[in-house]
Structure 1
Amino acid sequence: MIFPKATLFAYVSLALSLQVTAGPVPESKRSQGVGIPLRRHAGLQTEDGLFDLNKAVARMTRTQNKHTQNLINFQANKGYLPFTGAKIGSFLKVEDLLDIDLDLSLGKRQSVPLFNQEDIEWLGPVSIGSNNQEFTIDFDTGSADFWIVSRSCNDTVCTSKHTYDFNASTTAQEQSGNFSIHYGDGSTASGDLFTDSVTVAGVTAKDQFFAAVRNLSGTFDNDPIDGILGLAYPPLSKIKQDPFFTTANTQGAVPSNQFSFYFSSGSPGSNDSELFLGGTNPDLYTGDFDNVDVEGDKGYWSLGGASVSVNGKKAVDGLSTIIDSGTTIMYGPPDAVKELYAKVNGSQEYSAARGLWSYPCATPPNITFNWGGKDWPIKGEHLNLGHADNSGENCVGSIAGQELNLGDNVWLLGNTFMKNVYTTFNFDTNQVGFAELKQ
């Protein structure tokens, strides 16, 4: 559906207007940071609380394809792959993965249609161009490009999207080059490159590079996003250009080279989560930050030296962990995740093909991540993706063993981790910080 203009702008405060000037602006002249309310979209459960394998596989496929493209981009930009053991795999299709789990998807489940992309996403508004064309965007720390749907898209799914009209903006410039993304149904969308002004809650990046795709997969039919805005480092960019926040900081549109996320546990449709541009929002966290150095020039917000414990006992260590707001589930190498669940009393393999495990709902394990400082626990409500079957006795865990080809002992921590903490990303110090949420 298309959100009315008044509804879309209700999600963001426009009281702060930030002036953008050419070149860096002294810290003393920069405005205060600004928070963008984010709206949560759906989840990985059916209405009766059952874990929905179809939704999960659709999300897994999108995650796999995103990071396959990231590795291709990084190698093209840097000439090597970011992690030891990383390799570029094939792009996947949803139906290929579900065929493996046919007994689960058709037997135990009473699932939504195959390509229903309703999932855990936190959405916010973006405007582009001199005429403020409005879009609903998923903000993603696990990628570096910004793409939206072009007005020239003739696919049926595009009729439900906000689309970019290059000719309607006096500040738009068409650029050479192209952009493509791979979808979970096996299709590929190509797009044209443009520069234009891009504004998020009054923070404007002038002459920002982005892509407008001319065709869109049916996998987005039930997904309200019009595109994705990447917040990772430039080496992950397919179009070889600075991401939005990097541009905004260079132009002095934010008070500091830092942004932060708060993901609430509210119900789908609520808009009480927040992306804060230019610092942190102390109203949402308490205590000091546990700041962890980003490891090397890998393009990702990747943190080394991590360990995972179960009920106070270390289960796996020596991890590299990518903090990815555009991913739902937490992923680790299959053998390491199997080792973790071996320390969970009553755990059972739910889907060997997808690396999913269950545990007794009545006694959820205390699972914590640590980067050499404080233990950061996964709350029971965020570990639980839904009941494994109609008995309601076992719950599917949000840590899955999946080979994403990112590298040896590389884990991907999505928003089922980020919902437990207040997370800040600092480009100047090259650190990710975690703080406790205010109750």
Structure 2
Amino acid sequence: MRFSPCLLLAGLSTGVHAFYPWELKVETGLLRRFMPWTLLPSTEDDISAKKPLTFDIKKASVRRDTYSIVEANTPTLPNSAPLDQDGMDYSYFAVVQVGSQKEEMWLALDTGSPSSWVFGTSCTDSVCTSHHTWNKSESSSYYSNSSSYSIGYGSGDVKMDLGQDIWSVADMDVTFTFGSAFSVNESFTNYPIDGILGLGRSHADGWTIPSFMDVVASKALLGSNVVGFSLSRAADDPKDGEVNFGTIDTTKFDGNISYTATNQDTWTIPLDDVYVNDQAVNLTGKSATIDTGTTYILIPPADAASLFALIPGSSPSGENYIIPCNSTATLEFEFSGIKYSIQPEDYIGASSTGGCVSTIVGHDSFGNNTWLVGDVFLKNVYTVFDFDNVQVGFGGRLVNSTSVNGTFSSSNTTAAVTEGSTSAATASGSASTTAVATGSASHLSLGVGSSLLMTVLSVLFLRA
């Protein structure tokens, strides 16, 4: 997730990025399809869920508020953790134990930021008291850095004290510097997350403090410093979201990972082109920042106009586009000669006047040539962030481990992967390589949880 520069509070000069503060707005008002969003009363034209979903009730003994949660199955691979989500594909998070007291915190794993933080007990803002908070004074392993910083999140800042302590996740105990927030703006009220674990590249935007993965690498905790993501789609109900550290889960993709080299500071890679119904948009000189912490896809307005001109029935609405709610147009993103499709259920958002608002937004985030590519795309692929070789890899996402002739299918269908100018085993371009993924082929164990059928917008589930 990408964000505004960090505010200097105590001699810390840096420009950190995290959640990108974006909200979908059309004539009917605010559509709840991004984080952080402002929760408004539902209207007939503001329908974020089109059918009932099944959620598992997740309980936490000290939680005082309610959130709808889809709880993922426990992975069988080592150094892996389940990725739960909020039931509407807005936010994904893992359980991290913080401090010597091993307080369980729900943290978004964010490749858009190298910094990490949690809600602290010293925060008396309403958003903090409705979430898990961490008491640094109760941890015997906490060490204060005697400094603080602030990150801007759209409507306000999150202010934090810096210190070092142990974070335990995916069978790893990592001692590093993070923030304990003492002031948090209301943007986070409607999200279950209790903070952020930053998996952005080191020293991005001037951040010089060793990040979580810097410490993991320096301590040689993993055989290779790679992080693999498979994001679940709530409507499919697979409960198969997970994050893999040091290995990749070969049951989550088609068997090949195509890698593309990033730029120096961020997880930004060249974007070859985009296709609509097999017709090229004819983009040149474009790049894509791959960000697990961004819900949508934000693209320069001129590129958006070219893309939506190829989607039948599309019309602009400010920076948004209204498309037919029953659109079957095939969208494909091409990286290193390989095309990856995006399912219509991912690029078609909430209903609005005249159709549905698309989750691909015409907004200039980082200039005319950079796309911000978030979970709308990432749900369709297995993504590998390779810290050792400074590259990002994709494999076509599998659901229920079923693949037929390159088009992945099951009771829940996901992305298709097609070949560009190269074979699936060899990607073109001087900045790219392709490799057959290695790792355990073990399947996930099937967890059984309590569930209840209900519509997303009318009922929230008790976490406390």
Q: In the alignment, does 2:4 pair up with 1:68?
A: yes
2:296 aligns with one of 302, 321, 329: 329
2:363 aligned partner: 402
Give the drift of 1:221. 2.1
SS at match of 1:176: strand
Displacement of 1:269 in angstroms is: 8.9
Give the letter aligned to residue 280 of structure 2. K
**Which letter does structure 2 place at the counterpart of 1:367?**
L
Tell me the distance in 1 between the aligned counterparts of 2:236 and 2:107.
Answer: 16
1:143 maps to amino acid: S
Amino acid at match of 1:229: L
Structure 2: distance between partners of 1:256 and 1:303: 21
Secondary structure in structure 1 of the residue aligned to 2:306: helix
Aligned to 1:45: none
Q: How many residues align?
A: 345
Instruction: Give yes or no for contact 1:266–1:272 (8 Å, CA) kept in 2.
Output: no
Query: Aligned to 2:134, what secondary structure does the other structure show?
Result: coil
Give 1:211's aligned residue.
179
In 2, Cα distance between equivalents of 1:387 and 1:429: 42
1:190 counterpart residue number: 159
Q: Which residue of 1 aligns with 2:305?
A: 338
Note the residue ranges of structure 1 that are not aligned, 5 or more in a row: 1-62, 82-87
Quick one: distance in 2 between partners of 1:68 and 1:148? 18
Matched, 1:151 2:87: no
Match of 1:362 in 2: 326
Q: Which amino acid aligns with 1:401?
A: G
Task: Give the Cα–Cα distance (whole angstroms) in 2 for the partners of residues 214 and 125 of structure 1.
Answer: 21
> In structure 1, what is the Cα distance between the partners aligned to 2:114 and 2:238?
27
User: By how many angstroms is 1:305 displaced?
Assistant: 4.2
Mapped to 1, the partners of 2:245 and 2:288 lie a distance apart of: 23
**Alignment CA distance shift 1:234-1:136 (3 Å):** same
- How far 1:427 sits from its partner (Å)? 0.9
Match of 1:224 in 2: 192
Q: CA deviation at 1:414?
A: 0.3
Q: Does the aligned pair in 2 maintain the 1:126–1:136 contact within 8 Å?
A: yes
Determine helix, strand or coil for the equivalent of 1:229.
Answer: strand
CA-CA distance at 1:227 after TM superposition: 0.3
Query: Which of 85, 91, 99 does residue 129 from structure 1 map onto?
Result: 99
User: C-alpha separation between the residues in 1 aligned to 2:331 and 2:46?
Assistant: 29
- Shift, 1:162, TM fit: 1.8
The one-letter code of the counterpart of 1:222 is: N
Q: 1:102 offset after TM fit, Å?
A: 5.9
- Does the Cα contact within 8 Å between 2:45 and 2:351 map onto a contact in 1? no
- Provide structure 2 residue ranges, at least 5 long, that are not aligned to the other structure: 31-41, 49-66, 68-85, 403-464
- Say yes or no: does 1:179 pair with 2:149: yes
1:415 matched to which residue of 2?
Answer: 375
1:293 Cα shift?
0.9
CA-to-aligned-CA distance 1:261-295 (integer Å, 9 cap, x gap): 00122349974201111120112122211111112
| Aligned-partner residue type, residue 428 of structure 1 | D
Residue 77 to residue 224, structure 1, CA distance change in 2 (3 Å): closer
Q: SS at 2:304's partner residue?
A: helix
Taking structure 1 as reference, are residues 193 and 70 closer, same or farther at Cα in structure 2, changes over 3 Å only?
Answer: closer
Q: Is the 8 A contact 2:46 2:350 kept in 1?
A: no
How far residue 238 of structure 1 moved from its aligned partner, in angstroms, is: 6.5
Task: Label 1:264 to 1:93 Cα distance change in 2 as closer, same or farther (>3 A).
Answer: closer
CA distance in 1, matches of 2:356, 2:45: 14
Shift in Å, 1:212: 0.6
**2:284 partner SS:** strand
Aligned to 2:259: 291
Secondary structure in 2 matching 1:336: helix
Q: Could you tell me which residue of structure 2 aligns to residue 52 of structure 1?
A: none
Show CA shifts across 1:129-167 (max 9, x none): 222122111111111110111111112222222222222
Matched, 1:375 2:339: yes
What SS class does the counterpart of residue 365 from structure 1 fall into? coil
Structure 2 vs 1, CA of residues 326 and 124 (structure 1 numbering), >3 Å: closer, same or farther?
Answer: same
Deviation at 1:201, TM superposition (A): 2.3
CA 1:268–1:175 in structure 2 vs 1: closer, same or farther (change >3 Å)?
Answer: farther
**CA distance 1:396–1:156, shift in 2 (3 Å):** closer
Deviation at 1:429, TM superposition (A): 1.2
Give TM-score scaled by structure 1 length.
0.71
Task: Give the Cα separation in 2 of the matches to 1:148 and 1:241.
Answer: 17
Q: 1: distance between equivalents of 2:308 and 2:21?
A: 27
Change (3 A) 1:128 1:67: same
Q: Distance in 2 between matches of 1:277 and 1:407?
A: 32
Q: How many Å separate the matches in 2 of 1:268 and 1:211?
A: 35
Per-residue deviation, residues 28-81 of structure 1 (Å, max 9, x unmatched): xxxxxxxxxxxxxxxxxxxxxxxxxxxxxxxxxxx6xx4332799xxx669xx9
SS across alignment from 2:377: helix
Partner of 2:409: none
- Whether the 8 Å contact between 1:289 and 1:435 is mirrored in structure 2 is yes
